[in-house]
Structure 1
Amino acid sequence: MSLSVSVVAPASHTDPRLVDDAVAALETLGIHAHVPDTLQAPHRYLAGSIQHRLDMLYAAYEDSRTEAIWAVRGGYGCAQLVEHVDWSRLPAKPLVGYSDITVLLDQCYRHGLPAIHGPVIKDALRLNHESSESRTPTRRQMLEVVDLVTGIKPTGLPLHRHANSTPETIAGPVVGGNLMTLACIAGTSCQFVAPPHALVILEDVGEPYYRLERALWQLVHSGALDQAGALCMGTFEGCTSYGEQSLAEIAAELISPLELPLFTELPVGHGLLNRPWRYGALGRIEGNTLEFPTG
């Protein structure tokens, strides 16, 4: 099955040669990525000024050849765009990405637009890796994005119940994303607030545990998780601990006043495993699986 997508760069700048290589790798899977010549106009570490990135976002959504909008990478910059976007101009094409793109995924959900938390375009570079251990999961995840865009029912995601979680079934909209990104926008006009009964997924990369604890504390005490139904921890690639206490134990301590069930080891994040899921879709945790019963 083929798919045509518009490539966007709403956050940090990416070496154009890497974009070209990633697009070529996606072509081997039948994914045709349309990259405008003016995709990036580097401004500091950003892919362009706010206005340039907005113009490219609108152009991507308005491209009649494509079925989805796919971000090159995350990094930094998406929060700068939120107050400037005319959401009424955007058709119902799903935006795909993660990391800093989390901000736009959440805004799409709030404005009734589809979004998919999943690999970015640059991740397709792993399709050319010499090791099948890198190529195989990357190929699977890219094709799962195609399935989600084209309406194929997603498969469940495995997870692990923490000691504070009881065996009952928990259901609600699946939201969340990068922990540091969500913590940094707390108190702003685009702050993250979990909807009622939400299954909140959090992940991160390269952060020491004390910074992750600080970020989660910020979410808890800003009220972002007050209405949530569960916290689901994805991967925390390259995050360094102090002592022997696990990150799950730290999280359980922080969310204990909210009495939130905690789940861990979800294959979502900056590591090799980053299974895609529809942002805001109804999810159900049953046993050791996060299912998406409505497809």
Structure 2
Amino acid sequence: MPLAISLIAPSSFTPEDDIERGVRGLESLGVTVRRPAPLQRRTRYLAGDREWRLAQLHAAYADPDTQAVWAVRGGFGCAQLAAGIDWARLAGRPKPLVGYSDLTALLHQCHLHGLPAIHAPVVKAAGALLDGSADERTVVRRQFEETLALIRGSASLDYPLTAWHDAPSRREGPLVGGNLITLASLAGTPLASRAPPGALVILEDVGEPYYRLERALWQLVQAGALDEAGAVCLGTFEGCRPYDETPLEAIVAETLAPLGLPFYHGLPVGHGLHNRPWRYGATGVLEEGRLSVAG
């Protein structure tokens, strides 16, 4: 079935060449990309001021000819939009919001307001379909094809991961989470997330030293964001820098210990090459070294 998406720039500014490559990458998969002209009206490091980006978001949902609203990139700025979103207006055309990283703030809000959301590669990443190595193109193509299947609503997916030490062999619950630093930055605000009972909380990040990751996770723990969670699942932490020989998993285990919360690691989700999509709020089952999610 032909698929059309509305392209939005809700966060940081993106160079035009990167946008063009990403759009052509999606088009190589048969996707029609609809975007406003101009897509961006640069304000500092943002794609536009708050009103510009908010109007773009509303217009994307209002387009009757698209099946998803897909962000060109993350960065910073999505949380600024949440208070101004007309959720009733978006609910009139409940298509999924697609993206990750800074989009974490809006994916969570979409879920709370009963709208579909997909944590998945941003459009900019589709440029690798055109000029990456053969192996890279294979990995990226699979991830975008899985994302398109989720947009169509027809995908059942499973992902490998590893239990840390005495983690139980089976857990089941809704998938939530996203970028760790973004989630921590929302603590204490009206946008703060709180994992629903039994939730499998997926966390990932990029370019952060371990002490900042520990601080962010500690903040979520102390804020009560994980009090009712069933487990934490670590994705990739691309370019994140250790302080000494202590692995990140050991730091996470120590930080989660007061909650008695088990965790798993090795999930192929995050800012690296491997960033497989998942539907926000879908029920996942952790069992035998796999996370399975029904379509």
- Matching of residues 29-68 of structure 1 within 5 Å: 29-68=29-68
Are residues 1:109 and 2:106 paired?
no
**Match in the other structure for 2:187:** 186
Alpha-carbon shift at residue 264 of structure 1 (Å): 0.1
Distance between the aligned counterparts of 2:61 and 2:246, measured in 1?
A: 45
Distance between the aligned counterparts of 2:25 and 2:274, measured in 1?
A: 18
Distance between the aligned counterparts of 2:10 and 2:31, measured in 1?
A: 21
**Match in the other structure for 1:124:** 126
Distance between the aligned counterparts of 1:50 and 1:292, measured in 2?
A: 35
Distance between the aligned counterparts of 1:26 and 1:191, measured in 2?
A: 33
Distance between the aligned counterparts of 1:35 and 1:17, measured in 2?
A: 15
Distance between the aligned counterparts of 1:121 and 1:127, measured in 2?
A: 11
Identity %, equivalent residues: 55
Distance between the aligned counterparts of 1:191 and 1:183, measured in 2?
A: 8
Alpha-carbon shift at residue 32 of structure 1 (Å): 1.3
What secondary structure is seen at the aligned counterpart in 2 of 1:22? helix
**Match in the other structure for 1:145:** 147
The residue type paired with residue 11 of structure 2 is A
**Match in the other structure for 1:24:** 24
The residue type paired with residue 218 of structure 1 is Q
Q: Is the 8 A contact 1:183 1:215 kept in 2?
A: yes
How many residue pairs align between the two structures?
293
Any unmatched runs of 5+ in structure 2?
none
- Matching of residues 1-295 of structure 1 within 5 Å: 1-90=1-90, 91-167=93-169, 169-293=170-294, 295=295
The residue type paired with residue 261 of structure 2 is L
Distance between the aligned counterparts of 2:288 and 2:191, measured in 1?
A: 34
The residue type paired with residue 136 of structure 1 is T
Q: Is the 8 A contact 1:177 1:203 kept in 2?
A: yes
Alpha-carbon shift at residue 153 of structure 1 (Å): 2.4
Distance between the aligned counterparts of 2:282 and 2:127, measured in 1?
A: 28
Any unmatched runs of 5+ in structure 1?
none
Distance between the aligned counterparts of 2:63 and 2:38, measured in 1?
A: 14
Distance between the aligned counterparts of 2:60 and 2:39, measured in 1?
A: 10
The residue type paired with residue 237 of structure 1 is E
Alpha-carbon shift at residue 266 of structure 1 (Å): 0.1
Distance between the aligned counterparts of 1:174 and 1:130, measured in 2?
A: 30
Distance between the aligned counterparts of 1:252 and 1:134, measured in 2?
A: 32
Q: Is the 8 A contact 1:144 1:154 kept in 2?
A: no
Q: Is the 8 A contact 2:146 2:155 kept in 1?
A: no
Distance between the aligned counterparts of 1:214 and 1:35, measured in 2?
A: 38
Give per-residue Cα distances to partners, 1:7-63, cap 9 Å, x unaligned: 011111111222122111111111111111032111111111111001000100011
Alpha-carbon shift at residue 231 of structure 1 (Å): 0.3
Distance between the aligned counterparts of 2:60 and 2:132, measured in 1?
A: 33
Provide the TM-score with structure 1 as the length reference. 0.97
Q: Which runs of 4+ in 1 moved over 3 A?
A: none
Distance between the aligned counterparts of 1:137 and 1:82, measured in 2?
A: 33
